[in-house]
């Protein structure tokens, strides 16, 4: 899997390029790879794009209009990924793995787990403990104690589930995940908040959870550049998705 750092790129153009890449680059069409001159990575069957986007809200297939509270001047783009509404903006590392799950020998559930593990290992590199929450894909952190390894527990003392997310002021989402799989090939991916303007998240119910707090690495006390985080996340994804 080759890694390509794209920098700041428009969301819609990137989305369309992902769709075109996955539709054309699969085992049945490998003989046509050299004919795709307009696509980046035309000679590759698997690729990882690392980028950031100008401000945009994106809706997943399950997205409900009421979760976009006040889009204002930020465009809303309907997509075919899983999940609900999220926000992309400068200062956020976005990773799009386009791989063949059948060739790699694992299924979607494990693919999601491996992506989440890549984010957890990336955060650990910078001294942050990332947590999973049952029923809510993505990675979460303790806002006041981001290095704490203590498990996230609900009011009943059991592991926290998505049902309580919007009620917890001590927990923030730092990474959102939404994927699409077509003929065993993946696209869309994962976003990790590094140092960004978080105010647009107040205009939506992040990932469909009203009241869910969204944080970035800077807001919980970690000073790291976009490039540093992007490089670590890219290496983790290459390793974990192998």
How does pLDDT run along the chain (242 residues), one tens digit per residue? 899 999 999 999 999 999 999 988 655 444 443 333 344 444 458 999 999 999 999 999 988 999 999 999 999 999 999 999 999 999 999 999 999 999 899 999 999 999 999 999 999 999 999 999 999 999 999 999 999 999 999 999 999 999 999 999 999 999 999 999 998 999 999 999 999 999 999 999 999 999 999 999 999 999 999 999 999 999 999 999 98
Task: Report the pLDDT value the prediction gives residue 45, as an integer from 0 to 100.
Answer: 81
User: On the CB side of 146, how many CA atoms lie within 13 Å of its CA?
Assistant: 21
Of the candidates 94, 128, 204, 207, the residue annotated as catalytic is 207
CA 143 remoteness from chain centre: 20
Sign of CA dihedral 219, 222, 225, 231: negative
Place domain 2-240 in its CATH homologous superfamily: Bira Bifunctional Protein; Domain 2 (3.30.930.10)
User: On the CB side of 133, how many CA atoms lie within 13 Å of its CA?
Assistant: 28
Three-class secondary structure of residue 165 per DSSP? helix
Helix segments in the chain, DSSP class H: 11-24, 101-104, 108-125, 226-240
User: CA angle 130-133-138, nearest 5°?
Assistant: 65
Task: Report the pLDDT value the prediction gives residue 51, as an integer from 0 to 100.
Answer: 98
The reply to whether 51 belongs to the active site is no
Residue spans of beta strands (DSSP E) within the chain: 2-8, 47-52, 56-59, 76-78, 86-88, 92-98, 131-133, 136-142, 171-182, 185-193, 213-214
The closest of 53, 102, 65, 59 to 81, measured between CA atoms, is: 59
**In this structure, what token pair is assigned to residue 119?**
């984010």
User: What residue ranges do the domains of the chain occupy?
Assistant: 2-240
The closest of 236, 169, 185, 178 to 61, measured between CA atoms, is: 178
* Residue corresponding to tokens 């009943």: 156
Q: At 5, phi and psi to the nearest 5?
A: -90, 115
Distance in angstroms (rounded) separating the CA atoms of residues 140 and 135: 12
């Amino acid at each position: 899997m080759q890694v390509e750092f794209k920098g700041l790129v428009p969301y819609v153009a990137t989305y369309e390029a992902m769709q075109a890449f996955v539709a054309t680059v699969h085992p049945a069409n490998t003989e046509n790879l050299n004919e795709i001159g307009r696509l980046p990575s035309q000679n590759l069957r698997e690729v990882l794009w690392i980028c950031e986007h100008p401000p945009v809200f994106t809706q997943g297939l399950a997205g409900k209009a009421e979760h976009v509270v006040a889009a204002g001047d930020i465009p809303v783009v309907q997509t075919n990924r899983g999940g609900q509404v999220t926000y992309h903006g400068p200062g956020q590392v976005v990773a799009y793995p386009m791989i063949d799950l059948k060739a790699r020998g694992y299924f979607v559930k494990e693919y999601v787990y491996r992506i989440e593990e890549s984010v957890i290992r990336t955060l650990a590199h910078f001294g942050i403990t990332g947590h999973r929450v049952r029923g809510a894909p993505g990675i979460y952190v303790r806002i006041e104690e981001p290095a704490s390894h203590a498990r996230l527990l609900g009011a009943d003392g059991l592991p926290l589930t998505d049902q309580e997310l919007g009620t917890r002021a001590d927990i923030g989402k730092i990474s959102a995940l939404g994927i699409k799989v077509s003929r065993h090939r993946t696209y869309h991916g994962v976003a990790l908040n590094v140092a960004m303007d978080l105010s647009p998240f107040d205009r939506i119910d992040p990932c469909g959870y009203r009241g869910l707090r969204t944080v970035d690495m800077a807001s919980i006390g970690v000073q790291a550049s976009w490039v540093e985080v992007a490089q670590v996340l890219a290496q983790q994804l290459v390793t974990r998705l192998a």
